[in-house]
Amino acid sequence: MSLDHRLPEELEELRRTVEAFAHDVVAPEIGAYYEQHAFPYDIVRQMGQMGLFGLPFPEEYGGMGGDYLALGIALEELARVDSSVAITLEAGVSLGAMPVYRFGTEEQKREWLPKLCSGEMLGAFGLTEPDGGSDAGATRTTAVREGDDWVINGSKCFITNSGTDITGLVTVTAVTGRKDDGSPLISAIVVPSGTPGFTVAAPYSKVGWNASDTRELSFSDVRVPVGNLLGEEGRGYAQFLRTLDEGRVAIAALATGLAQGCVDESVRYAKERHAFGRPIGANQAIQFKLADMEMRAHTSRLAWRDAASRLVHGEPFKKEAALAKLYSSEIAVDNAREATQIHGGYGFMNEYPVARMWRDAKILEIGEGTSEVQRILIARELGF
């Protein structure tokens, strides 16, 4: 029996629709946003109207009734053109809305998911802290129960979608108590934007993803209702680990898109650019680079789709998500480097998309679990 990796017609239609949107709407405009470090509100609004923010959620909450495979396909096609737009969607869905859907009460889902699914509101995921990094369990932000409120104090860093004009909430992890052995009880709490004491810093000056929103957050005696607890008290860390497992599938799809975009741009350039009387693509050295780049992107696509399929079918997927995230992020960096080399001096100019891709690629080996963390997870799944 052979395996058929072709997409069913409805997903192929989605892929073509997002591909057209990326090339017709995103590509002509995103360069200016990127150089100005400006958030592309109009593009995000159109993505919301297309239903992209609601792809993996049930229709009863305003979603499109799809799944993580559908989300990954959209992310890959967007990232073939631009990663800032793709990460805005990825973080808004996988990190912003998905925790509410996975762990929220029915009341919480009905309050927040419809606007998150429509793109009218963006959600953010407040896990990383200035002294934490990969050690997410070393949370220092605290939430103390006072009557009917949680009182939150602490800070978070590198939080995507946290300070836009349409950001509606941030779900943060905070220590809400101690276990008998003294280890922290970490819980997840939803903090609406504009809550007194909740301060959003100015946007970071970043190497890449310059048209996405990334900021540091601080909480000073921030009061929110006890009903804003997401899931069970003390289960916040476990909930966020599940969220990250799923998010790695999405990041792998995004990284695959960037890697494929490098191929697209390099093939086009190699056919158009002439040197020594012929297209540079006529040279075997360039052809071999392009062949290796295509091989990596193709293999990466198989990896993330395998992980997504396991997730969708309710099968164990932690190892496959880590494998896909590790491989796709590293080959995205490889392809971006080679694409820049093929473009020569023009690859160093911001007017060419590969310059943007080169700058955007590196963070993929860091965000949502570094390459080192992925290797730890894979080894652990192998029994070590």
User: Which residues are designated catalytic?
Assistant: 368
Helix/strand/coil percentages in the chain, nearest 5: 55, 15, 25
- Give the CA distances from residue 128 to residues 174, 329, 336, in Å, rounded to whole numbers and listed in that order: 11, 20, 27
CA separation for the pair 190, 99 (Å, rounded): 10
272 contact partners, CB below 8 Å, separation of at least 6: 279
Across the strands, what pairs with 155? 218
310 contact partners, CB below 8 Å, separation of at least 6: 316, 317, 320
Q: Answer whether 300's CB lies under 8 Å from 252's CB.
A: yes
Among left, alpha and beta (phi > 0; psi -120 to 50; other), residue 333 is alpha
CA separation for the pair 137, 240 (Å, rounded): 10
CA separation for the pair 262, 334 (Å, rounded): 10
With tokens 């869905």, the residue in question is 93
Q: Single out the residue of 278, 260, 277, 271 nearest to residue 338, CA to CA.
A: 260
Q: Answer whether 53's CB lies under 8 Å from 89's CB.
A: yes
